[in-house]
Amino acid sequence: MAANFVPLIELFGKLRSYENVTAQVESDERTVTKRTTVQRALRSLMGLLAASSDCPHVEFLKPMAYFHLPFSSEDETIYRVASSYLLAQYFRRQQGKDSDLGLDGLKARYQALQQVNAAMARRMRAIKIEDGAVNALALLDLFAQTLPYSIDAALEELQPAFERSRM
């Protein structure tokens, strides 16, 4: 994960977290442009770089990197995290493996991710960069810290959207 962050730090390490930027993400499927702060733009990019790294602690996020949604809201991220995890559990079940429909494994993975984020933040602070990248990681970690305790309530808030569907 650290290796994936090096080019990001080299490019954006001199920017302060509160500076406003216009960020644009282009892919084959879409172009997304957003006027935001450095820390929020870098949070989205760091999330993608972390999830696409070879770090075993973020391996469960690889499908989210494949289906990355730049600048996603908290509700969108909760939806994507839960959907991705549950789809992985479906595939495990299809292969005759144990599956976790209660999200306990997801919560445990996010708790472990907090240790990775803390170590990464220490490494970033040690190289004396401006706070843009460090605060972007802090925003990612805030999500990792709250997810194990808030996902059940967050999913309850999304439930009405499914009650109206005919699934």
DSSP states along 29-57: S-EEEEEEEHHHHHHHHHHHHHHTS--GG
Confidence of residue 163 (pLDDT cuts 50, 70, 90): confident
Number of Cβ atoms within 10 Å of the Cβ of 137: 24
* CA–CA dist 153, 6 (Å, integer): 36
Inter-residue contact 30 to 19 (CB < 8 Å): no
Closest CA to 161 of 67, 87, 78, 64: 78
92-127 tens-digit pLDDT: 999 999 999 999 999 999 999 999 999 998 998 888
* CA–CA dist 123, 100 (Å, integer): 34
Domain boundaries, the chain: 2-163
Query: Could you tell me the pTM of the whole model?
Result: 0.87
Instruction: Say what the pLDDT of residue 164 is.
Output: 75
Instruction: Say what the pLDDT of residue 57 is.
Output: 93
Closest CA to 86 of 70, 71, 105, 72: 105
126-160 tens-digit pLDDT: 887 888 888 899 998 999 999 999 999 999 999 99
Inter-residue contact 82 to 155 (CB < 8 Å): yes
DSSP states along 124-162: HHHTT--HHHHHHHHHHHHHHHHHHHHHHHHHHHHHHHH
* CA–CA dist 101, 116 (Å, integer): 25
55-80 tens-digit pLDDT: 999 999 999 999 999 999 999 999 99
Instruction: Say what the pLDDT of residue 167 is.
Output: 66
6-22 tens-digit pLDDT: 898 888 888 889 999 99
